[in-house]
Amino acid sequence: MLHRLATVDLSLIALAASLLAGGVGPAHAAAWTLQVKDAGGNPLPGAVVAVELKGQPSLAPAGTSAQMAQRDRQFQPGTLVVQTGTAVSFPNFDTVRHHVYSFSPIKRFELKLYAGTPAEPVVFDKPGVAQLGCNIHDKMTARIIVVDTPLFATTDSQGQAKLELPPGQHQVALWHVRLGNDAPRKQALTVPAGPPGSLALELRD
């Protein structure tokens, strides 16, 4: 049984570099595998991992968009990850109308009873987590996680995610449903120079 965590410690607990032909220059990004595990050493699927690089713009380029659909009286996807400044549309593919809202501090809004797609998307301009609901269908819930970087991914069934990362000192943020509705937790991350491999992150109680 999963228990809600009081704190999160993202610690670099192992580094396994796979040997590849040729080297990776210090200024070049390479495909690193981020392995997220819980305190028992078990892979943690469904974790959102985001890496912030020094000097990298925190805001998404103008025109960046994403979609949170409603289908079969459910939000799809249940968790959407976007970069700060992304415009999110909320198309309703059901034959019934929905009333989508969020009362979360990072973005408060309401899309009152509607069918089809609202004319104006919602711009998520602050980082954090926005919890979504439907005022008509109480069982409809989802979340939008807003991060200050374009480098993000969700771990697969093996608890792994791949990101193109350059060597250096960066910051990593991790979010998982086990953390409740809190914003992603952040900690320093060191990506060494040389051929890419695997960086292990541990989620501790």
Distance CA 121, CA 79 (A): 17
CATH class of 11-56+151-203: mainly beta
Kindly report the number of other CB atoms within 10 A of residue 32's CB atom: 23
Same CATH fold, 65-147 and 11-56+151-203? yes
Q: What is the identity of the amino acid at 66?
A: A
Tracing tokens 């711009």 back to the chain, one arrives at 123
Give the per-residue pLDDT at 145. 95
Of the candidates 89, 93, 146, 83, the one whose C-alpha atom is nearest the C-alpha of residue 122 is 89
Are residues 184 and 174 in contact, defined by beta-carbon separation less than 8 angstroms? Answer: yes
pLDDT along the chain (205 residues), means of 10: 39 32 52 89 92 90 97 96 97 97 96 95 96 95 95 95 93 85 79 89 69
CA atoms within 13 Å, Cβ hemisphere of 93? 10
Tracing tokens 């593919």 back to the chain, one arrives at 93
Q: Give the C-alpha distances (Å, rounded to integers) separating 68 from 44, 77, 88, 110, 144.
A: 24, 6, 7, 14, 9
Give the per-residue pLDDT at 204. 62
Classified by CATH at the fold level, domain 65-147 comes out as Immunoglobulin-like (2.60.40)
Record the tokens describing residue 104, joined without a space. 């979360």
Of the candidates 128, 81, 82, 135, the one whose C-alpha atom is nearest the C-alpha of residue 105 is 128
Are residues 83 and 146 in contact, defined by beta-carbon separation less than 8 angstroms? Answer: yes
Q: What single string gives the DSSP state of each residue in 86-117?
A: EEEE--B-SSS-EEEEEEETTEEEEEEEESB-
Where along the chain do its domains lie? 11-56+151-203, 65-147
